[in-house]
């Protein structure tokens, strides 16, 4: 699949000082992982990092050069990066050596030498920070090298370079590098690994790149320090894979990095275009192997954190953003009453809870919330009861205004048969409700608070000039898959509302615009437009990462392999694309509403699109 590359980080078994044995071990690993795009080994992996004064021995110099040449011959199209001490103009440099197709393609010396506390690197090595445009072993040599293979642009730093105040990788990423490889020899101390891991993760986020880290293992000397063989692969602030430390026989990890994703994020979501380009020289490498099958994990619910603790923290923050945004708007326009329709469904429930919290922030009476139940042709007894119970429980002023009679009169006025329950009947109810809310806002001196969520906005699942319109929409940034978790979070902290809220989130999602059957909901939204978990997945990757339809189908098939067939996913993806393109005109006229996450669709902020763009090419790619 285009844009995916397999990176393997290896901390092999090391025999300190036995270069020939180490070369054989490295050769075995190169052969074992020959289908990878790139293999990364630790710092000074030919000799060992703790060889100390033996680095100066002529035997070591001779065997390192022989070993590198032998290793190079082992290589084919997979990029291999190993660590070795190399002499240049009578100075010894701690180097990363890039091998491919039987050749040494380039050598990058370490810039920042660790020379404090337990580290004495300046005793043996010279910093390579001034080395540019040179040659060693008939290959380019310097800190000004980047390596190009297809869409991969690889930058290299060595251990301390990452820990420095100005890591070279930032300049590399600024100049286009999308994969940074770090050869390391990092000893273990209590708490150090957590910091190391955070460094790698953060650097991948700052550089909007992938970052592979391979450190030397327990084969190093243990005279004063122990090395664990830490292995980490990260991408744009997320750890893709991490190795087990302290393994005597060594360890290897793999991860598939998505370069096309990184490219989109750099282009569309950051100030990357303002980054300075530095004078790096690109070394062109041969075409590398790419994965035949994508095995990378994709979270089926990218808007919803899996861990309960993180989900609760996420919910708390979103709820604060929603309620403080509404409070700010209310304070600005003269402290009006808050008018909203309550149906007993998820979205209006969340909006009502946000209104309650906004009143608490403003020290405003909750009786200033006018919660209006407007039962119509499809309203079920259960949702009607829940709407009333919840409104009273939060202390809102509750009104019940039936719309069936008004809608029937209206249908009669436009000569629409009452027995034909079609989109005209559905939308007539939505618009009647909006009219009532707007008129009540005039009567009570209030604003209409909108309830439609981000998923509905994406799909255009609202009635234009009906529930599509409000004076401020508190749910505009919240996707459907997250709404119930926000309500559940409130339920856990507000005992008096818990029973009502848990009953509401247990029901199927429905607009309730068609007559109920035996008092129960007859119209389930997800049977009409498809599962919201799929649509939210499509929305996230389509907007956040610019994923093509082909890629959306692939990654959704991986994420939902145990829930939906690829045929089902494809059909719902077609519907998503059709509805997303066809309903931009609604988004272009949507009211103000607060953004809460990295995906939003406001035409004044995150998403600008003409209303008449053709969806044809997107559908054809499927």
What is the mean predicted confidence (pLDDT) over 110-130? 92
∠ CA 575-576-579, nearest 5°, is 80
pLDDT reported for residue 117: 83
pTM attached to this predicted model: 0.92
Asked about 110 being catalytic, the answer comes back as yes
Over 70: is that where the pLDDT of 519 sits?
no
Q: Is-contact 53 124, C-beta < 8 A? A: yes
User: In angstroms, rounded to a whole number, what is the distance separating the alpha carbons of residues 529 and 61?
Assistant: 68
Q: What is the 8-class DSSP label of residue 97?
A: E
pLDDT reported for residue 273: 81
pLDDT reported for residue 270: 80
What is the mean predicted confidence (pLDDT) over 189-204? 96
Q: Choosing from 13, 29, 105, 110, which is the catalytic residue?
A: 110
Q: Is-contact 236 263, C-beta < 8 A? A: no
What is the mean predicted confidence (pLDDT) over 484-498? 95
Over 60: is that where the pLDDT of 514 sits?
no
Report H helices in 207-307: 259-268
What would the pLDDT profile of 270-287 be if each residue is shown by its tens digit? 888 888 889 999 999 999
Asked about 159 being catalytic, the answer comes back as yes
Q: Choosing from 43, 63, 121, 533, which is the catalytic residue?
A: 43
Domain map of the chain by residue range?
A: 4-284, 308-529
What would the pLDDT profile of 319-334 be if each residue is shown by its tens digit? 999 999 999 999 999 9
Asked about 43 being catalytic, the answer comes back as yes
Q: Which CATH architecture has domain 4-284?
A: 4-Layer Sandwich (3.60)
What would the pLDDT profile of 56-70 be if each residue is shown by its tens digit? 999 999 999 999 999
Q: b/e map of 473-508 (b: 16 or more CB within 10 Å)?
A: bbbbbbbbbbbbbbbbbbbeeeeebeebbebbbebe
User: In angstroms, rounded to a whole number, what is the distance separating the alpha carbons of residues 606 and 598?
Assistant: 9
Q: Calculate the alpha carbon distances from 520 to 5, 389, 515, 556 in Å.
A: 51, 18, 9, 33
Residues of the chain above pLDDT 70, percent? 97
User: In angstroms, rounded to a whole number, what is the distance separating the alpha carbons of residues 421 and 174?
Assistant: 59
- Given CATH 3.40.50.620, say whether it is the number of domain 308-529: yes
Q: How confident is the model at residue 516 (pLDDT cuts 50, 70, 90)?
A: low
Q: Choosing from 159, 181, 209, 355, which is the catalytic residue?
A: 159
Q: Which residue has the higher pLDDT, 512 or 436?
A: 436
């Amino acid at each position: 699949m285009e844009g995916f590359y397999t990176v393997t980080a290896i901390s092999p078994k090391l025999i300190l000082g036995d270069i020939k044995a180490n070369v054989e071990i490295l050769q075995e690993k190169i052969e074992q992982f020959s289908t990878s795009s790139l293999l990364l080994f630790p710092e000074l992996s030919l000799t060992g990092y703790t060889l100390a004064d033996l680095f100066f021995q002529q035997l070591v110099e001779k065997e390192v050069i022989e070993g590198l040449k032998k290793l190079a011959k082992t290589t084919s199209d997979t990029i291999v990066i190993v660590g070795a001490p190399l002499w240049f103009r009578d100075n010894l440099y701690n180097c990363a050596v890039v091998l491919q197709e039987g050749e040494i393609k380039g050598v990058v010396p370490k810039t920042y030498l660790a020379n404090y506390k337990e580290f004495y690197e300046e005793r043996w090595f010279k910093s390579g920070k001034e080395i540019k445009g040179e040659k060693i072993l008939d290959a380019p040599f310097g800190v000004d090298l980047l390596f190009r293979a297809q869409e991969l642009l690889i930058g290299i730093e060595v251990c301390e370079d990452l820990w420095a105040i100005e890591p070279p990788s930032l300049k590399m990423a600024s100049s286009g590098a999308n994969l940074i490889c770090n050869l390391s020899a990092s000893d273990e101390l209590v708490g150090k690994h957590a910091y190391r891991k955070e460094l790698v993760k953060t650097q991948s986020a700052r550089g909007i790149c992938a970052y592979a880290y391979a450190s030397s293992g327990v084969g190093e000397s243990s005279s004063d320090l122990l090395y664990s063989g830490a292995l980490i692969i990260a991408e744009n602030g997320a750890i893709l894979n991490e190795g087990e430390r302290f393994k005597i026989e060594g360890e290897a990890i793999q991860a598939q990095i998505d370069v096309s994703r990184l490219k989109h994020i750099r282009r569309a979501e950051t100030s990357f275009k303002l980054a300075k380009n530095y004078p790096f020289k690109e070394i062109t490498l041969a075409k590398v192997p790419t994965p035949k099958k994508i095995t990378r994990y994709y979270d089926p619910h990218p808007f919803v954190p899996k861990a309960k603790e993180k989900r609760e923290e996420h919910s708390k923050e979103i709820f604060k953003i929603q309620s403080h945004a509404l409070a700010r708007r209310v304070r600005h326009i003269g402290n009006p009453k808050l008018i909203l329709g309550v149906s007993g469904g998820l979205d209006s429930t969340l909006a009502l809870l946000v209104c309650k919290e906004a009143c608490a922030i403003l020290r405003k009476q909750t009786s200033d919330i006018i919660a209006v139940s407007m039962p119509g042709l499809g309203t079920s007894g259960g949702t009607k009861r829940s709407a009333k119970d919840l409104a009273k429980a939060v202390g809102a002023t509750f009104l019940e205004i039936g719309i069936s009679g008004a809608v029937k009169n209206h249908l009669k006025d436009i000569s629409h048969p009452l027995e034909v329950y079609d989109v005209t009947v559905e939308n007539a109810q939505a618009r009647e409700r909006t009219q009532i809310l707007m008129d009540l806002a005039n009567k009570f001196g209030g604003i209409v608070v909108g309830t439609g969520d981000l998923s509905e906005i994406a799909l255009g699942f609202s009635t234009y000039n009906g529930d599509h319109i409000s004076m401020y929409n508190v749910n505009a940034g919240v996707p459907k898959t997250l709404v119930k978790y926000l309500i559940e979070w409130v339920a856990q902290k507000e005992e008096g509302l818990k029973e009502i809220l848990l009953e509401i989130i247990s029901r199927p999602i429905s607009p309730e615009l068609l007559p109920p059957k035996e008092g129960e909901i007859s119209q389930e939204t997800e049977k009409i437009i498809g599962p919201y978990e799929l649509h939210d997945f499509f929305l996230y990757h389509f907007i956040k990462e610019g994923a093509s339809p082909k890629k959306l189908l692939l990654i959704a098939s991986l994420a939902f392999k145990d829930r939906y067939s690829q045929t089902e996913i494809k059909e719902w993806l077609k519907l998503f694309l059709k509805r997303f393109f066809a309903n931009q005109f609604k988004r272009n006229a949507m009211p103000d509403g607060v953004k809460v996450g990295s995906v939003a669709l406001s035409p004044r902020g995150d998403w600008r699109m003409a209303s008449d763009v053709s969806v044809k090419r997107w559908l054809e790619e499927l």
